Structure 1
Amino acid sequence: MRSGTCLDVSRGRSEVGPKLVVVMVGLPARGKSYIVKKLKRYLSWLGFEAKIFNVGNRRRRRLTMVEPETPSASAHGHDSTFFDPNNVDAKAMRNQVAMDCLEEILSWLQAGGKIGIHDATNSTKERRRAIIDRCAREPGVSIMFVESICTDPLVLARNMRLKLSGPDYQGIPEERAMKDFTERVRNYERAYESLGAEEEECDNVQSCQLINVGRKVIATNIQSYLASQVVFYLMNMNLAPRQIWLTRHGESTDNILGRIAYAAALARLVAQERRQFVARAEASEATSIRDGPFHVWTSCMKRTIQTADPFAQSDDCDVQHFKFLNEIYAGDCEGLTYAEIEARFPEEYHARQQDKLRYRYIGTGGESYLDVIERLNPLIVELERQRHSVLVITHRVVMRALLAYYGDIPLDRMVTMVVPLHTAYCIEPRPFGAVLRRFRYHAATDGFTEEPNGSHDG
């Protein structure tokens, strides 16, 4: 093996340990789809082959292809009577669609996938027993149930409203849609059975109950590395309104004044946007939010620390420096330009051009992009755990990795993302995902303008 070749961590992970089927459990409007999207994004960012399989989407496809004239169906979807536990034919169809979706997952896993997520209510012991029995016949596959339980009336009301914009209710008046969806939930509640002894007593079944989006987590029989990663991530989720700011350091090449100007303008921008964010959040949530103290995290490199100077002078800012935010370490190539690397290490230069994601710089401590992701994993978990707003000041490769996580950008595209200097990104986590805004600094006006969010590829 050539000295600069990095072990393909993503493929290696797909080969180690059993494959995993994550089976969601929970009533409608309990945040299951929100959870699986975040979970899939996190696992994919770590380098695992992960994919969501949504039973509701399969049900709707079957409706349009096979049953357009059934009494409980319309051009939009099945109405609440389809989910009545006493509707024998509908129950049989729902179970069949769920099992068909499971077969699709198992086929995908055997074809090379690592983590398949079964996104459905799976609300009865009967359904879950069928899933357990089928997975038990599949070699090299383990199973994990994740139940989402929500008792917070504000979160439930918000989730109910979000459901009205989903595919089952497109084009239907809001009042009529809410009435039908409320009745659908009641039908599910009549037959709902939470995870319990039946699942716990199965030696090969792992489970996790997530109560009020991470406020309480109950894990049972966790055996595999993958399942432990799932539990660890879910334990740190929360829905607290907050902003996550990301930026590279101010300009540093023979331009100290440029760096100081950017730092001062960045502090003004963040302060202004934080005030507006708090006002918006309080107006929409009808409650105050906890937005202090404001955390500023930098690398241990001088140019990021200097960019944080205006924040360090503020009483309500907590500035900390972390080595895991340092730029990718280039080993024997550290401090060299790309032209100098090409001249001195031509084989290494061309090897990196062929596979930037997996290439590891030669020499002691040399890193690859995958190594950077590994050391950033604790940061991502901490950002998910945080209930206050945060500013991260770092470097280009680290910025690419962080933006790939929040944007759910495949790792092979991450390495070519354009992340310019003097640009600040603001991420606002929401129940349906996240809103990303981008601000560009202009030295001529010493201020920022918000830009449209186009592609970062380059």
Structure 2
Amino acid sequence: MTSSNTAMDNQDAKQSKENNTNYMARTTKRWVEPGIRLSPKHSNNGDAVHEPVFDVEDFISPGQLYSTESGCLFHAGRILIVLVGLPATSKTLLSVAITRYTRWLGVRTESFHLSKYTKTNTNIPSFLSDEFSTVEGAEFKKEIINKVTNDMIKFFDNGKGQIAIYDALNIRKSERADIKKTFENNNVKVLFVESIVTDPNLMTKNIELAIQSEDYKNWGKHEAIKDYTRRITDNESLYERMSPIEGVSYIKYLNFGERIIMNNTNYGYLVNKIVFFLMNLSNKQGCIYLSRCGRSDSDKYTDDEVLNEEGLKFSEILTKTVIARVKEKGLERKKKAMEFNKNSKDTSVTADPSVNNDDNLNSDSLVVWTAERKRTYDTAKFFKEHGFDVRKRSQLKQLHPGVVADMTMDEIKEKYPNEVEEYERDPYHYRFSRAESYHDLAVRMEPLLLELEHMHNDILIIAHESTLRVLYGYFMACTSLEVPTLDFTRHQLVEISFNPFNNVVTRIPIDI
């Protein structure tokens, strides 16, 4: 974007404001001042999906197409998504996944987990483990729900929030009716998402993940499984399934996307986009691996050469490193499944037998995606020799540098001093002449991001650093200020693994 275009946009926005439109264009600058950068929020290698939505008033998300003064996009107003379902039905996973995706699109989204409120309350009574079954427990539950409700209302009213996601059981009709009444009175649309799991293998995996939480930190595996299974059984007797009789808008989400049923979901484009996202979402078991390509004699953008000797050596070592790591992770999953099976012998759940074959790496265990350039595709040559599926993906094409292709920064500053000044203000959104910006790249890659959400097994992506930055930025919930600064070297393989609460990154050395 040029300075003149920015001035025109601001003038249009000013006129729009004078006309009292509901969804006004931005009237302030979209970047922070030069030198002001948000520090990475990731702690303990986890992503930032649970961090506050924005630290800077004028922040724009990586995949955001436009901005408004109201903070609401897609002319959708304010929406509360209420999750419904028994324990171990992937509600938290759904909440976090929707939060990550909608934030990437620029929607101000926050997840509110009821369990997090109970854990942070220092006055939790001893009867909490009995699912609030006593009179005192019911009062405590009411107190906690009121606190969550008030925080969500504050998020909408004071934080310019557009989507709040309420993660709790919400299995009674009366509770759902109270939520609908409270928020519709505050001019917030309410959409219920009922997650139902009937697949025993999926239920088993969910229970296995649940007992790894802090709730069962000092429990034995057998006792934890038994207790969690009891919680499911106790709540099942109270569960009132959603139906059109309730007169609410809802989505029934069966077996994590195996089947989706919608009722009265007439909230427009944003809700339809979320539904489409849920249709592509999968309960991922594998990891995503990110790697640079090997070297050629020329790394220039205008050249497309085959790998040199160093590049071929890197390709060979990368192949060995990835295969060894995938096998290691498979053995870990097998061990956990066998241990779970051993400790669940007195319960109604058993481990998924298919996990026992994870250590036998076959051609279906790993998929390799590469960009279309020769040196990128050739980096995967040894994976092909091992029988793995290697696919060229056009969406992985690196950021187009335009007129500054293959120029050093000193050369660019000398030839395009004004453009460099604009670029340094906003390296994510600015594009040189005939070039792409990182924002252009992120928008171009959205179909690929949805396809990655749909993948079940391990996948290795070999691409240029600019492309890897966008992929990493999405899965680790980075800001648009962070993405251009992310560093990927040929000395490390980046592994992104998934769990219900957040994604975790591990950097694996590549011995070259």
Q: Is the TM-score greater than 0.5? A: yes
User: 1:50–1:114: 8 Å Cα contact kept in structure 2?
Assistant: yes
What's the offset of the Cα at 1:427? 3.1
Aligned position for 1:79: 129
For 1:104 and 1:186, how far apart are their aligned partners in 2?
Answer: 30
Q: 1:363 is matched with which residue: 420, 433, 442?
A: 433
Change (3 A) 1:257 1:174: closer
Aligned position for 1:390: 459
Aligned position for 2:275: 231
User: 2:291–2:463: 8 Å Cα contact kept in structure 1?
Assistant: yes
**Does structure 1 residue 266 correspond to structure 2 residue 336?**
no
User: 1:246–1:392: 8 Å Cα contact kept in structure 2?
Assistant: yes
User: 1:424–1:439: 8 Å Cα contact kept in structure 2?
Assistant: yes
Change (3 A) 1:275 1:132: same
Q: State the number of aligned residues.
A: 423
User: 1:83–1:91: 8 Å Cα contact kept in structure 2?
Assistant: yes
Change (3 A) 1:19 1:341: farther
Q: 1:309 is matched with which residue: 366, 377, 381?
A: 381
User: 1:219–1:231: 8 Å Cα contact kept in structure 2?
Assistant: no
Q: 2:259 is matched with which residue: 194, 216, 226?
A: 216
CA deviation vs aligned residue, 1:18-59 (integer Å, no higher than 9, x gap): 122211111112221122122222222333322111122223
What's the offset of the Cα at 1:211? 1.6
Spell out the pairing of 1:340-419 with structure 2 (5 A cutoff).
340-359=411-430, 361-364=431-434, 366-419=435-488
Change (3 A) 1:371 1:143: farther
CA deviation vs aligned residue, 1:342-376 (integer Å, no higher than 9, x gap): 112212212222222222x1334x32222222122
For 1:156 and 1:88, how far apart are their aligned partners in 2?
Answer: 31
Runs of at least 5 residues in structure 2 that lack an aligned partner in the other structure: 7-28, 31-59, 300-307, 338-352
Runs of at least 5 residues in structure 1 that lack an aligned partner in the other structure: 73-77, 444-458
Letter in 2 for 1:125: K
User: 1:292–1:388: 8 Å Cα contact kept in structure 2?
Assistant: no
What's the offset of the Cα at 1:126? 0.9
User: 1:250–1:422: 8 Å Cα contact kept in structure 2?
Assistant: no
Letter in 1 for 2:67: G
What's the offset of the Cα at 1:123? 1.1
Letter in 2 for 1:231: V
Q: 1:51 is matched with which residue: 110, 128, 139?
A: 110
What's the offset of the Cα at 1:277? 3.9
Aligned position for 1:37: 96
What's the offset of the Cα at 1:394? 0.8
For 2:335 and 2:219, how far apart are their aligned partners in 1?
Answer: 27
Aligned position for 2:3: 2
Q: 1:427 is matched with which residue: 491, 496, 502?
A: 496
Aligned position for 2:242: 195
Change (3 A) 1:265 1:182: closer
Change (3 A) 1:88 1:189: farther
CA deviation vs aligned residue, 1:165-203 (integer Å, no higher than 9, x gap): 43444445556555554443333222111221134x34x
**Does structure 1 residue 137 correspond to structure 2 residue 185?**
yes
Aligned position for 1:456: none
**Does structure 1 residue 12 correspond to structure 2 residue 67?**
yes
Letter in 2 for 1:440: P
TM-score by length of 2: 0.74
CA deviation vs aligned residue, 1:96-116 (integer Å, no higher than 9, x gap): 532431331232123222321
Aligned position for 2:506: 437
Report the RMSD for the aligned CA atoms in angstroms: 2.9
CA deviation vs aligned residue, 1:201-246 (integer Å, no higher than 9, x gap): 34xx3x2222222222223333322222222222222235333221
Change (3 A) 1:36 1:336: same
CA deviation vs aligned residue, 1:404-435 (integer Å, no higher than 9, x gap): 22323333222222212343223343456545
User: 2:404–2:412: 8 Å Cα contact kept in structure 1?
Assistant: yes
Aligned position for 1:298: 370
